Every structure is written in structure tokens, then in C-alpha cells.
Amino acid sequence: MKKFGLIGKDLQHSFSKIFFNKKFQKLNLYHHSYNNYEINNINEVINIIDQENLIGLNITIPYKKEIIKILDIISDEVKSIKSVNTIKIENKKLIGYNTDVIGFEQSIMPIIGNRKNALILGDGGASNAVQYVLKKNKINFKVVSRKGKNKYQDLNDQDIISNEIIINTTPLGMNPNSQTFPNIKYDLLNKKHLVYDLIYNPKETLFLQKAKNKGCQTKNGNEMLKIQANESWKIWNH
């Protein structure tokens, strides 16, 4: 039996387990399994890793940054963005990768058009991957968060009007807390804006609904999820 899994908190609404177990069925990989591992602190990861036949793990909120300290090797991208969402276990070594980068890049770049300025909501591990992609593609950005240098309450009208790409990297709006949404001035949005939410469950968050009501182009994180998951699979099988 080859084992894979997802480490994080509040995983009952994650699609990763469904995605991979469907993939195993489709490929007739009956000796493969994918499970959710909910943990309360990063030290509990050691017990999970000690399992026999564990090949790889995905990492999600809130451990993408914290997990790095227990890894043996990290990829060049991880060195830059300080965030991991995929671990390969090879010869008892833990190797960290980030497939959020390729997932986000391939899902957003075809629809960006001529837009050159972005506002990123949140400063966690997923935000680091988003910043990496935007920087690589020469798109200017500003990051706001609850506790960072730039806070939501400090946003002015121009921050919303001039940044025609707005990206939510926070868990606000994710099931089961689907009634929450980032605190920005939605009235300032218009059809020139591209509003992207990394959340994929629900399919349309209140954040995206509010943007759509203002005529914005919107996109959720479903395509990003599939791309990054398939990239994880490639890493585990390489």
C-alpha cells in the first residue's frame, strides 16, 4: 500500500482527498490511498511521517510556512517564497516543494490581459506563492493583511481603483465560514477588475459574488487546485 495525505486544520471541506482517490480509481491504483491528517501543532507531523509506506504529503493552512523547519531538503522555489505545499518522502528524507506557484501562474496568466497592478489580500504561505508569480511576470503588487505592514483599514480608494487585479489568499469565505469575506470597498470595483479567489469551496464565495455584482471578471481556485495537485502527483512519482 502506498500512502499519501493532506496535513492541515479543518480539512472536512478540502477536495484533495476526493481528487486523489478518484485519480487512483481511474488509474486502477488500488493499492494507493490518500487521507486527511488534522493536527493542532506542527510537532504532530512527526507521528504522521513515521507511518510505513508513506510516499508524499500535501500541506495546507496554517502550516505551509511552519513545516519548513522539519524538512531535510527544500526546492529553489521554496527557498525564495518560504512556503511548502508538497512533501516527498525519499530515503527517509523529507523534501519540500511548492506547486501553488505553477497552479496559480497557469490559472491566472491567461486571463490577466493588460492589467499590471495587483492587490493581494493576506500574507500567509499562499500569498507568498502569489507574490512570487506576480513578481516573475512583472506585475506590481501591494499586500494587505490584518496584522502586516499594510492593514485593511489603511486601504484608500485609489488602492482599489488602480489595482485592477485583486486576489484573496485568505481563508475568509471558505466553508464552513462561507458568510465571511475580506473587508474592502466593493463599491469601487468595476468591469475593469479581475477578482481572483484561491478558495474553491464554495465555488463562489461572497467575495466573488460581490465582485461579480459590480461587473468584474471573477475566478475561483478550482483550476489552481487541479494543476497544483497534478504537479504534486508528478513530484511523488518522479
Residue 149 among the catalytic residues: no
Q: What is the spatial distance between Cα 184 and Cα 144, in angstroms, rounded to a whole number?
A: 10
Place of cell 494587505: 144
Determine the residue type at 99: T
Determine the residue type at 36: N
Q: In this structure, are residues 195 and 207 in contact, taking their beta carbons and an 8 Å threshold?
A: yes
- The backbone torsions φ and ψ at residue 69, rounded to the nearest 5 degrees and listed phi first, read -65, -15
Which residues, including other chains, have CB under 8 Å from residue 161's CB and lie 6 or more apart?
Answer: 188
Q: What is the spatial distance between Cα 91 and Cα 112, in angstroms, rounded to a whole number?
A: 42
Q: What is the spatial distance between Cα 14 and Cα 210, in angstroms, rounded to a whole number?
A: 23
Q: Which of 17, 64, 88, 210 is catalytic?
A: 64
Q: In this structure, are residues 171 and 11 in contact, taking their beta carbons and an 8 Å threshold?
A: no
Q: Name the residues annotated as catalytic.
A: 64
